Structure 1
């Protein structure tokens, strides 16, 4: 998905087959389990399940074309003796133009292997980019603590 594209709930014609839109997007949500590279795009198009527009359907079709061309991509688990946890976290302050909520994203690696990731809207509206980053880091840290305890057991 083009990262600069702003999807809104108005601005283009209504998509005629809302049921088809929901079926395709629902299927893409399951595909995110093994394809974290599409998580951001799927979370964006999932926000318009109630009343999809033609602009939203164009994004879905673009995502399907991307998947067609990258069938060999997915999560690969490599054998490793490195059991250290690594991670990255980020936030996009006031990313959604309609509700001004920020987006949190993080991923955690066990050695070279990706084991968990997240991309979702924050539950509250942040007043600054620093606050949005702090909330993202707090969510990431909570995941890291849980994984550390799980591995210790």
Structure 2
């Protein structure tokens, strides 16, 4: 233990020589997890405060506690019952229950089976969107490029970067933005390594017709 403390002290001193550090003492509360240190050694993690706040938020603080993590024999279906009046509250509550499994793994099955439904999607298309705000910087008149790439209905890549040169037209600015968005080309290669083969062509959308014609002209490539 002594050697470990010396190594830790040396590391802190090395970091403090390069960065401004402040010693806050032993960890007590982090990311809604309370850290306790029993007298017999070790570390105890507790989410009692987090769970109490969740019970108050959902108006379940007065509910009768039970020792079993879920009701046996009860099956929940996505096609039965009435819709909850506040879908955002429902989703946040389900997410909060999943976070509570960090210290209460016994509710993992009930939280997963009675709150989260995963939709089976067959949409394997890759679609990208690219745009640029031409000469938006009032100091140097450089444009900023932005793009996002969707795999099916899910955002898997996005980026934004200030262009290094001054574009003389919106067409030039958006043409350079299309070049930045070509990152979507490597996504099918990554999926292929994961055993997913795509048959649909890649699609990249741009709202500037002149930039589209430039990118489609083989003479410019």
TM-score by length of 1: 0.46
Structure showing greater relative contact order (alpha-carbon pairs closer than 8 Å, 6 or more residues apart): 1
Structure (1 or 2) with the larger CA radius of gyration: 2
Q: Which has the higher helix share?
A: 1
TM-score by length of 2: 0.33
